[in-house]
Structure formats: structure tokens, C-alpha cells
């Protein structure tokens, strides 16, 4: 016999609620939350922070992004999040982004160009600060047909794409180095590739 999960009542706490609780204006709450543009007396700021904690207020990051024109968010587009290479790439990008207080929105195209275009347009609509993109092909720029007003870099490209920032691997040089190592260090004379 299973019990029904009780419905969770979700009341969104607003900036006005925090202002009423702290006995200040909504503008003062905004100044405390956004660290400016006007200074707030330390005692008043502490009352506002206490009200935020008691009420469980969460600033609307979408509204903040709309107002500022940026979201402190980086978009990461990969073909397959279950691929260990891209999973590790995603984790490392998240780690580095966190060091500068940025979040990463990661999406997988599943190798589908239409899905890739939808994801790219969605990320641009979310006001991301920049994008790191590995499209469904390592030989083309998936953003070429979009109006892109944020910096982006293409990753895991096999050949440089003229006029675009890209990071890739020189697989030929890597293979040469591997074979050289096997011959000179391990004395192998017959090397096979599977």
C-alpha cells in the first residue's frame, strides 16, 4: 500500500515581501541583493539579509539577466553527454566556470542538426555570456547561419575553420608521436592500429 505524496504548496516570495518584512523599500532590497548601485547602511543591509533568509527569497536570475543583458552563464553544446570524452569536458568546463562564479548550461544535440540549432537559439535567448560548441561535425561552424552576439569557441575541430576561434587536436601529429614513442622507447618494429 503506497501513500500519496502530499501536494507541495509553493508560494513565491517576492522582493516586496522581503521589503515588508525588513521594513524597507523594494529598492533597498534590490541594492542589497545586487550590491548597489547605492550604498545601504550595514544595519539595514543585515535586516534585509535576515529577511531573505527567513522568507527563503531567491532573486529571479532571469529578470537579472534581462536587466543586465548577461546571465553569468556559459552555454556548452556537445553531441553526446554519455560519451566519456564530452562528459569529462563538461565537468572540467563547469569546474573552471565556477571559479569565476558562472554557471554552465550544458545540452546534448544527440547528433541531430535540427536539435543543435534549437539548442543554440535557446541558449542565445537565455542571454548566455558565451558559448563553447562541439557541433555534430568537426568540419563546420554550427553557428554560421545564426546571428550571434556573444563570443564562442568551437571545440574538437579536426581542421581549423577560417575566421573562427577553435580548439582541436592534431591527430596526425599525435599518431606520429605515439609511433615514435613505441619505436624509440619500447623498441617495437611492427606497430598496428585497430
In angstroms, how far apart are the furthest CA atoms of the chain? Answer: 81
User: Has residue 116 been placed in a domain?
Assistant: yes
Taking the C-alpha atoms of residue 137 and residue 116, their distance in angstroms, rounded to an integer, is: 11
Segment 28-48, tens digit of pLDDT: 998 998 887 889 999 999 999
The verdict on residue 41 lying in a domain is yes
Question: 22 with 113, same domain?
Answer: no
pLDDT digits (tens, 9 = 90+) for 101-144: 899 999 999 888 889 889 999 998 888 899 999 865 655 666 66
- In the predicted model, what is the mean pLDDT of residues 169-179? 84
Contacts of 28 (CB under 8 A, 6+ apart): 19, 22, 40, 44, 48
Q: Tell me, what CATH number does 24's domain have?
A: 1.10.260.40
Same domain for 91 and 27: no
The CA angle 168-128-130, to the nearest 5 degrees, is 30
Specify whether 75 is located in the same domain as 149.
yes
Within this chain, do residues 128 and 36 fall inside the same structural domain, yes or no?
no
Residue 180 pairs in a beta bridge with none
pTM above 0.75, yes or no: no
The answer on 92 and 38 residing in a single domain is: no
Residues 54 and 118 in one domain: no
**Residues 83 and 152 occupy one common structural domain:** yes
Tell whether 139 is covered by a domain.
Answer: yes
Please state which of the ranges 107-111, 162-166, 172-176 shows the lowest mean pLDDT: 162-166
Report the alpha-carbon distance of residue 111 to residue 158 in Å, rounded.
17
**110 and 146 together in one domain:** yes
Pair (91, 163) in one structural domain: yes
Asked if the structure places residue 106 within a domain, the reply is yes
What's the grid cell of residue 177?
A: 608521436
Answer yes or no: do 29 and 111 share one domain.
no
Say how many domains are in the chain: 2
Q: Is the pLDDT of residue 189 over 70?
A: yes
Domain residue limits at 55: 15-59
If pLDDT is split at 50, 70 and 90, which confidence band does 10 have? Answer: low
75 plus 27 within the same structural domain: no
Please check whether residues 86 and 154 belong to one and the same domain.
yes
Reply yes or no on whether the pLDDT at 177 is more than 70: yes
Q: Residue 89 is part of a domain; what is its CATH number?
A: 3.40.50.2300
Q: What is the pLDDT of residue 143?
A: 67
Amino acid at each position: 500500500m503506497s501513500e500519496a505524496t502530499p501536494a507541495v504548496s509553493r508560494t513565491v516570495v517576492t522582493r516586496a515581501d522581503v521589503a515588508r518584512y525588513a521594513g524597507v523599500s523594494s529598492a533597498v532590497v534590490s541594492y542589497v541583493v545586487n550590491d548597489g548601485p547605492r550604498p545601504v547602511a550595514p544595519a539595514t543591509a543585515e535586516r534585509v539579509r535576515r529577511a531573505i533568509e527567513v522568507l527563503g527569497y531567491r532573486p529571479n536570475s532571469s529578470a537579472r539577466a534581462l536587466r543586465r543583458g548577461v546571465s553569468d552563464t556559459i552555454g556548452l553544446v556537445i553531441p553526446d553527454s554519455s560519451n566519456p570524452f564530452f562528459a569529462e569536458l563538461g565537468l572540467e568546463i563547469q569546474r573552471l566556470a565556477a571559479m569565476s562564479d558562472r554557471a554552465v548550461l550544458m545540452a546534448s544535440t544527440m547528433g541531430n542538426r535540427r536539435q543543435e540549432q534549437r539548442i543554440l537559439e535557446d541558449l542565445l535567448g537565455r542571454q548566455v555570456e558565451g558559448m563553447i560548441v562541439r557541433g555534430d561535425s568537426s568540419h563546420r561552424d554550427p553557428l554560421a547561419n545564426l546571428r550571434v552576439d556573444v563570443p564562442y569557441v568551437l571545440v574538437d575541430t579536426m581542421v581549423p575553420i577560417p575566421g573562427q576561434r577553435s580548439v582541436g587536436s592534431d591527430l596526425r601529429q599525435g599518431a606520429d608521436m605515439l609511433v615514435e614513442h613505441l619505436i624509440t622507447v619500447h623498441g617495437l618494429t611492427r606497430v598496428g592500429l585497430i
